[in-house]
Every structure is written in structure tokens, then in C-alpha cells.
Amino acid sequence: MTSFDAAERRRRLGVRHALAAPATTTEDVTASVVALHSTDPAAMTLSVLARLERPDIAEVERALYVDRSVVRILAMRRTVFAVPADRFDEFAATVRHSVAGPERRKLLGLLRASGIDDAETVLEQGHAAVLAAAERLGEFSSADLQAADPLLATRVDIGTGSKYATQQSLASRLLTVMSVEGSVVRTRPEGAWNSYRYRWAARGTWLPTPVAQPDEAEARARVARRWLERFGPALPEDLQWWTGWTKGHTRAALATVDTAEVELEEGTGLVLADDLAPTPEPAPWVALLPALDPTTMGWRHRGWYLGPHAERVFDDVGNAGPTIWHDGRIVGGWAIRDDGTVATRLFTDVGREATDAIAERAARLEKLLDGTVVKVRARRWTAVEKELRA
């Protein structure tokens, strides 16, 4: 059995995730990590900027909103990802039953709890009303839908009986369901590039003609192969964590992929059968990766690149904060202060050359931000962020 040590895995990480050698386009960056975490739109943009040869927010917006070659979708682990547009239907298929089904059932339950007896009919009528309004409006917000059809303004009770009880419009709840079904997509945020208040469009008006959507098992197999291509070698539970699939679905997906078993420090892992060759040593590299970055979050077993730093750069529910990388290892953390400056903290001595390169990256990022302050979204502050922002 071939053995892969941590050094080889770190070389692969740097080369395959567009970190040792930067990419030229947002599309190339997205392909390099299979999918970009995008629940926090600012984090997604910063993930791309960290990997571009010429970082530019306009380049990210070109791919997302002009060429529409990268698109956001609510998919695995009920998380928003940015994926290649030609893979949109594939990612939608992977969660047709595991996420889309439960989201639909959840909304039906909320409608019934709100006193709506014929919830199935209301849901179907609401679905049709959204698509009809979308055809007239093009891009739209939840508020636009509520103004377009009184049914979509229906109030839905959330958290009834708890201290967090509130109400949302049927339009707002329907957009979540329809987005995971793949019938509507998130478009440009309202306001600045770091806003999380999205506008929407019907899938058919925003993206090219849909391809034949694969069945769920085939879609999972395709995603598993591309993940192994970029994140392998890895343990099956790494893929299971990344996707949120069941153990059975993960095993079934991997069984259709031509893999080889390899020895890793944490156990027996898998790699694509034709991907056993060692990786040439890349030039030294550094990177400032944002919170929820796909590289930092890419594996369940992280010791080979994270070392002893989990408590400082992950929050208390397991979400990664901003991290500093040197040649495939996490060596520090960073934060954006309320005055727009970027502060860094190294946990270990990386040498003068790497230290200077990290300082240069921080200065470049601060210039790109141009005073924009990125707050915590979809996670909590990490220990190192609290230290740097104090």
C-alpha cells in the first residue's frame, strides 16, 4: 500500500488549491476547490481574491453577475456554495431528497402551525406565484415578491412558543425551498459586495438552458470524484463531513469511483487510482485565507495542516476563522478591525522571508478592502480575532 506523508499532502494542497501558484480567473479558482463556501458572500469573495494572480473584486463580480459562469446554490449541509454554472444541476441533484425534501416538509409544517389548513395547496400556489412574478420582474427581492402577489405576503410563524418566535413572509421561506430545488438562484446582493441580502432570479432566466439533471446517486459520484481529485488522498469520513451525506451515501458514491487505498497518518485513506505520483516541490508560498475558506474547512481530520492551533482559529462550534498559511500549514490568524485595517498574528517562527511576504499580503488585502469592514457572518469570532480586534 502506498504511503502519503503530511509533507506530500501539503504539497498537493498548495498546488491544487491555487495557493502555491495563483490562478488568473474566478472560474479557475472555483474549479480548484470544487465549490466555494458562500453562506457569507464576503468570505467567498475573499477566498477568490486570495488565489488570484491579480486580485480584483470586479473580476469576481464578472464571473458571478456578468458572465454568470459561477453561481450560488443552497446545497450540501444546507450550506450556500458558489459552484461552476455548468455543474449547478449536478449539485442540485445531490441534495434533491436529503435537503430539498426536508426543507419542503419543514415549510409545510410551518404553514400548518400558522393556522393554514390546506398547506399543500398554498405551497403549490405560492411556488407558481413566485415563478410568475419572476417572469415579470427578472431580478427581484423577497419584498418585490410580496408586493407582486398578496399570497406571497402571507405571514408564517417561526419558532412558535419559544423566546425566538418571529414571523417571516411566505415569499422569504419559499425562496429557501426553491433555491435548494434549483428553480431560483441568488443573484447580486443588495448594496455592497459583502452584503448578504441577495436578489433573486428564476433559474431559467439567469443561467443557460439546463442540462439533463443526473439522478442523485450519479450526481454524488461525480462530486466525490472531483473532490478526491482536489482534496485527496483523504479518509472517507473527510468526504462525508464535507458533503454532509450519510455514511451509506458516501460509501456508495466512492464505490463507483476508481480509487486506491493509501496509508495516511490517521488511517487508511483513498486517492484516485491514477493519482499516486508524488508532487514536485512548489516554490515557497504564503496565503491569508478568510473565514470558512474551502481549504481550511475541507477535511474533518486536519492535524496535518492545522497542528495545535484549532482553539485559536476555529470558533466554538467548529467554523474556521481567518488563517495564515505557509507552505501548506496554518501558522497564524488574522482579523479585519473596525477601522478597516488588517491585523495579523503568527503562532510560530516562519523566517524573515515568509514573515515579510505575509506582511505584504496583509497590506495588499487592506488596500483591496479600501475601508470595507467584514463582520462575522454564519459563524462566531475566533480567539485570535478577539485578540487582534481588542
pLDDT in tens, 136-164: 999 999 999 999 999 999 998 887 777 77
Question: Over 80: is that where the pLDDT of 66 sits?
Answer: yes
pLDDT, mean of residues 77-101: 90
Residue 175: what pLDDT?
94
pLDDT at position 45: 96
**DSSP calls for 271-331:** EETT--SPPPPPPP-EEEE-TT-TTTTS-S--HHHHTT-HHHHB-TTS-B--EEEETTEEE
How wide is the angle at C-alpha 113 spanned by C-alphas 109 and 119, nearest 5°?
55
Residues 6 or more apart from 35 whose CB is under 8 A from it? 75, 81, 82, 83, 91, 294
CB 373, CB 385: distance < 8 Å:
no
In this structure, is the dihedral angle defined by the CA atoms of residues 268, 77, 320 and 83, taken in order, positive or negative? positive
3-state secondary structure at position 370: coil
pLDDT tens for 112-125 read: 988 888 999 999 99
- For residue 221, pLDDT over 90 is answered with yes
pLDDT band at 320 (very low <50, low <70, confident <90, very high): very high
Residue among 41, 29, 87, 38 nearest 230 (CA): 29
- What's the per-residue H, E or C state across 195-206? CCCEEEEEHHHH
Kindly state the average pLDDT of the residues 321-340. Answer: 97
From CA 109, how far away is CA 166, in angstroms rounded? 15
Cβ proximity of 152 and 200 under 8 Å: no
pLDDT for res 113: 87
Radius of gyration of the chain (CA): 22
Residue 134 has pLDDT above 80, yes or no: yes
Domain limits, the chain: 97-183, 286-385
256-268 mean pLDDT: 97
Question: Does the pLDDT value for residue 6 go beyond 90?
Answer: yes
- State the Cα–Cα distance between residues 342 and 333, nearest whole angstrom: 11
Residues 48 and 55: their CA atoms lie apart, in Å, by 8
Measured distance CA(248)–CA(271) in Å, rounded: 19
Which of 269, 246, 256 lies closest to 219 in space, CA to CA? 256
* pLDDT of 56 strictly over 80: yes
| 2: number of Cβ within 10 Å | 11
Contact criterion met (CB below 8 Å) for 256 and 239 = no
Q: In what order do the strands lie in the sheet with 259-264?
A: 2-3, 259-264, 267-272
Residue 352, pLDDT > 70, answer yes
Total-model pTM:
0.94
Strand pairing report for 259-264 and 198-202: unpaired
CA distances from 288 to 37, 194, 245, 313 (A): 16, 18, 30, 12
142 in helix, strand or coil? helix
Percent of the chain clearing pLDDT 90 (strictly above): 82
Q: CA triplet 247, 252, 258: central angle to 5 degrees?
A: 125
Taking only the tens place, the pLDDT of each residue in 18-47 is: 999 999 999 999 999 999 999 888 999 999
Q: Once rounded to an integer, what is the mean pLDDT over residues 244-248?
A: 95
Q: Which residues pair with 384 in a beta bridge?
A: none
